[in-house]
Structure 1
């Protein structure tokens, strides 16, 4: 049975207590460590609370479910701050690659594999992962392409959302297939061989067919 997407809890808890950033950070870290060690299915809220030295009630005051906690912890682990703004699309893309390479390590990869392997079996995790990680990442990269379009570097007629998805999709695929963090050289190659040429190419024609093309198809 498909569960409803988790509800993010912010501000004061249900009991009126203010969030404790240090305690929340400890719970996120415990969740990530256990996810890397045992995977999503075997991870329990009880084990996270024990490792962080907290009670289950503390955890549930901040996160609605295990899926909500894991998605939030994953987003925090992968968060890279504000989008780069070097003044050029190529520069922004390479700064994005540097930030991504600097965030990858053995534990990060194990966590990524653990989450990715559970997404198709857990709709609640998929919904939380999409809300907490996919949408913010897409928005961050979309801002890079929006600025490039505003500068006139690329056409605003491109599907900028699609362009924003190419780089992270290829980097994630490489990591999942090889079982190792994607190296910086690979990320740079993706930018120069795939993302940059796509962004600078003429946008595909999406309007009605021209009279000449219609005549060729009926000839």
Structure 2
């Protein structure tokens, strides 16, 4: 890149001006350069060129305080007006930023779950969530890039996949696990699950696209509960594990859509007692000598 020439200046003055603020060079204003050099050296303005030639050889320009500063183009009379820090200093200063507000995060996720329970996935938009939470859309987009990410976090918060269930008995383990997955004890999650049961195809398609792990994690957890019961000798290995795992979710889905029966802890316990446990015990009796 060619260095801009400064009209009317000697080679020594031009070399000295290269170390002056960028505005001095970009304006190609030789009188401004001479006045700046003369003002710093204490010499009259008219002696700028002569003084600049002498100062250039002394190395004083290497220590001038404005050597690494950038002065705005509109500054013409004072090179020290509105100085900007050197870039090396700026790079070492960390931007304070805006810390995440945990209370606002929880409020936003709660509002997303409320909208999901009221109108399904279609009702959950960034604008609707922001309005419900009393926050700006920018606050949401700083945290989540899309409503899919927001909704996935909301589900993970209200219905985590990694839960610890160990009552010592398969029946109670299954009831506790299914009660958690269907939102028993969490009104927001329960309403959302009921809405999902009523629009199961839409929600299965969304889950498969955004959070496919939710389709397999619950089933894997229930399977682990059955396998643990087998390991401790409570039941024999099921003859048809897949059918055993399908019993409770299938009956919940069927009875909700055909009879309008909501999911409760009592209904889950009834399905486990009347279907799952008899099937598990039947396998144990078949294996008995």
The normalised TM-score by structure 1 is: 0.64
- Tell me how far 1:89 sits from its aligned partner: 1.3
Gaps of 5+ in 2: 1-96, 285-289
Q: Does 1:77 align with 2:127?
A: no
Query: What residue number does 1:201 align with?
Result: 282
**Greater mean deviation of Cα atoms: 146-155 or 52-61:** 52-61
Shift of 1:97: 5.5
Q: Contact 1:71–1:133 (CA<8 Å) still a contact in 2? A: no
Listed as ranges, the matches of 1:86-125 within 5 Å are: 86-96=167-177, 99=180, 102-103=184-185, 105=187, 108-118=189-199, 120-121=201-202, 125=206
Change over 3 Å in CA distance of 1:55–1:144 after alignment to 2:
same
Structure with the greater relative contact order (CA < 8 A, sep ≥ 6): 1 or 2?
Answer: 1
Q: Deviations over 1:8-38 (max 9, x none)?
A: xxxxxxxx98765433221111112222333
Equivalent residue number for residue 53 of structure 1: 134
**Gap change, CA 1:142 and 1:95, over 3 Å in 2:** same
Q: Structure 1 stretch 145-154 or stretch 177-186: which is displaced more? A: 177-186
- Helix, strand or coil at the partner of 2:224: helix
C-alpha distance after superposition, 1:113-144 (max 9, x if no partner): 43345553477623256535333322322221
**What is the number of equivalent residue pairs in this alignment?**
187
- Counterpart-to-counterpart distance in 1, 2:119 and 2:183: 25
In structure 1, the gaps of 5 or more residues are: 1-15, 204-219
Deviation at 1:198, TM superposition (A): 2.3
**Is the Cα contact below 8 Å between 2:207 and 2:215 reproduced in 1?**
no
| Shift in CA distance, 174/19, structure 1 to aligned 2, threshold 3 Å | farther
State the Cα RMSD in Å. 3.5
* CA distance, structure 2, for counterparts of residue 149 and residue 65 of structure 1: 43
**Which of the numbers 16, 20, 26 marks the counterpart of 2:107?**
26
Q: Which of the pair has more CA radius of gyration?
A: 2
